[in-house]
Structure 1
Amino acid sequence: MSTASNGNRLLQIALVALIAAGAPLGLAIIQLTWWSAWSWAGVALMSFSPMLAVWLYRRLFSTTPMRPAVERYHRRLTATMIVYVAALMAATHLYDLGLTTGPIGYLVALAPAAPIVAIFLIIGQFLREETDEVMGQLIRTALLWSGALTLCEATVWGFLETFDKVPNIWMWVAPVVFFAQLGVTLPLAARRYR
């Protein structure tokens, strides 16, 4: 490899890493600017930078074409995340305006939850469509590990919370933790098939 192509390769790696760094940066922005206009930038970074980094990585470094089921999964997931961010922004804005009292408040509160529930349905649809048995088993293993970890953490935290040893955490944090852990358990499960 020539020096120019090595430099180009390093630049590509740095670009993917920079985009992937948007997830923790987004979390930090949310933490530092809670419920302000800047929080939405954090939500967008946290939601979309991992997907964009994966897409860019595959585009720059993958030598094999993306499997059709995986491609459909990514399209569905991206569309659902766009709906999620829009629903979350709209629901929060309506809450800030005081328009969530009465029965309509239940619909507004559930609007951001619906896309998260849809993500689990999208994962199930992906598992039905994926014809590669190894890929399917890998995803199921990672889902099991991530789900077990999340339930164990929720159980421990719940008992600590019951005895006033830790602060209350909103329940919607559980799927966020689940998906973050899925990002870790998937590569760990993949090591079994190398």
Structure 2
Amino acid sequence: MTEELKTKVCKICETEKPLTEFSGCGLTSDRLQPNCKPCHERQKRAGRVIGAAKRKALAAAPSEALVIDTRVDREPIPIPYPGLEEIPKGTRDGRALAKVLANHAAMTLNAQPDHPNRARIADAIRDQSQIADMDDEQYLSHQLYEANPVHKLTQDEKLYCIRALPLEIARKLFPHV
């Protein structure tokens, strides 16, 4: 029995070689081996040299992350509403709570300048300060908006609610029930 010698063309050197030259040369996602052994080895060596050069360049370059991490001396954030460390007794206004929360968040950032959630706390200070600075009409409108759970639904959920109210959406709208 004579067996026909099967050949394949290498994608790199573009020469036709027997299939035995292609075995063990790294598989692609379609399980084909595009390169012959010599070309595959050349590519591996070149990749190693390039990788070593990149690692050497990165090791020699000063790290920017270290510069950022060593910058601990940040300016203290001014307390937005001085004198309000606690909610005054008898006050039930949410704006007083917002002032106290903004002060507490500012004190947290001043006590821990490298807090891992610094950006989120700064956003909370900004949000609470906006609530605290609202006049009566704005604050009542804000309270109504926050109390109305419908604004938390997507448009599809709102359209779905026109029909019989499903249990999942009812739980999302009224979590306390």
TM-score by length of 1: 0.22
- TM, length-normalised to structure 2: 0.24
Q: Greater helix share, 1 or 2? A: 1
Quick check: which has more Rg, 1 or 2? 2
RCO greater where, 1 or 2, for CA within 8 Å and sep 6 or more? 1
